[in-house]
Amino acid sequence: MEFKKSSSKKRKKLNINKKSLKLKKTDDVKLSKEQKKNEFKLRGLSVLQGKKKKYLNVRNVVVGVTGVLIIIFVILAMSAPTGIFEYIGAKTALMKSGESFPVTYDFSAGKAIEYGGDSVLVATETELKCYNNSGNLIYSRIHGFEKPVIKTSKIRTLIYGLNESFYRIETPREEVIYKKTENNQPVIAGDISDSGVYALVTESDDDIALVTVYNKDGSEIYKYHSSNNYITGVTVSENGKKVCIATITTSKAVFQSKILIFNLKSNEPIYEKKFKDEIIYSVEYSNSSDICVITDKTYRNIDDDEITEKYSYKHKFLNKFEISDDNILLYITADSNSLNGTVVVLSPDGEEESKFQIEGTFSDISIYNGRIFALSEKVFEYNLDGKKEKTTQIKSGAVAIQAMKKGCTVLYSSGVDLIK
């Protein structure tokens, strides 16, 4: 059988000198990348880089996405000291839309109101209600406190009954902690930090008062026994590493208040300051080192171990005050009557940012993001220059107001409403 040769075109055989090729390869090693490309082009060859370029593009995308994810994780971790999953759960819960302001409480009168930055907390006689900035109800939970007190942090809310022996910690998503105090002692004061660390002041069988600091999971991490002074207030730093308490005592009918700061490692304070003939109304950390101290005569900012600023009321009466995230609001009148007072806005470090007179009788006043609201038969809104921006007619029976992102929440004994 005879086989025929293929009829395809013959390819011209290349004569390759292996010796010269070997030498050429050796020489090529010494060439630059650009020279190699030019050499390939002279030979009629091309450099195939498609796969390499594709690989580099994919790698760059992966590196970029990973970098973005790391940045997002770091931001979330900084914003969520109590845990990323708790933070995300709380934020998503606040997106709820449903029942909204105005709300009427038919069988339970409003008792207390507090703003937590992203939610308004209202305590009625029987329930703790949480509303988002749009006025939508997020949750309503029965509390059972006769005199409810609300303390807020970035994510969590501490609610306890004044002179009662149990407390709760909530998030918009769920109830985190429900406990009784040690030996069922009544709570005098309390505070919760952004880190989730919280402190309670209770009565004590052995001393005048006891301060107990708890970790975010409810485990006890520190105790301070006060055997000589009555404790009137407590605050925890944002990072949960320090606690400041306010005490008061009397000597020969003269009040003496005192500030004590502890680092949770020793029973000896790292800072102590006495205020003769002054009563401390409130102490509150504005960050991890600065403490706002409001007395019946002055406002002071304490930066860990020194008073950095002092503001005197100049023998006038401190009628109302509020410590918000960005400002300290003081409402000062000539006497205990709230007629024709002076509004003073301070930065947390005690510097005066605004001061102006307002005419009328006001039962409450509140500030948020430069908007000041004053409550009488109507709600008046002022800017930081003292200009009256808006007057809103409200129904009778208003108990308190709370400035917030989208306006002002008005608490009535029979419900709550929002003024935008």
pLDDT in tens, 305-332: 677 788 999 989 999 999 987 899 999 9
* CB within 8 Å of 149: residues ≥ 6 apart: 112, 159, 160, 161, 162, 190
Q: What is the pLDDT of residue 333?
A: 94
In a domain, 39, yes or no: no
Average pLDDT over residues 88-96: 86
Query: What tokens appear for 251 in the block?
Result: 């000597």
In a domain, 357, yes or no: yes
Is the pLDDT reported for residue 26 higher than 60?
A: no
CB 230 within 8 A of CB 238: no
Least confident of 59-68, 170-179, 383-392: 59-68
Average pLDDT over residues 129-142: 91
Q: Identify the DSSP state of 58.
A: H
Q: By residue range, what is the domain housing residue 340?
A: 314-420
Query: How far, in Å, CA of 232 to CA of 189, rounded?
Result: 7
CB 123 within 8 A of CB 150: yes
Q: What is the pLDDT of residue 177?
A: 94
Q: How many domains does the chain have?
A: 1
In a domain, 352, yes or no: yes
In a domain, 353, yes or no: yes
Q: Which amino acid is at 163?
A: N
CB 159 within 8 A of CB 173: no
pLDDT in tens, 331-354: 999 988 888 899 999 988 788 999
* pLDDT averaged over every residue in the chain: 84
CATH assignment of the domain containing 362: 2.40.10.480
Is the pLDDT reported for residue 5 higher than 50?
A: no
Give me the half-sphere count of Cα atoms (radius 13 Å) on the Cβ side of residue 401: 29
Picking from 343, 369, 330, the residue whose alpha carbon sits closest to that of residue 133 is 369
Q: Burial level of 387, CB count in 10 A (0-12/13-18/19+)?
A: exposed
- CA 100 to chain centroid, in Å, comes to 24
Is the pLDDT reported for residue 79 higher than 90?
A: no
Query: How far, in Å, CA of 260 to CA of 257, rounded?
Result: 10
pLDDT in tens, 265-294: 998 999 999 998 999 999 999 877 889 999
In a domain, 412, yes or no: yes
In a domain, 29, yes or no: no
In a domain, 286, yes or no: no
In a domain, 333, yes or no: yes
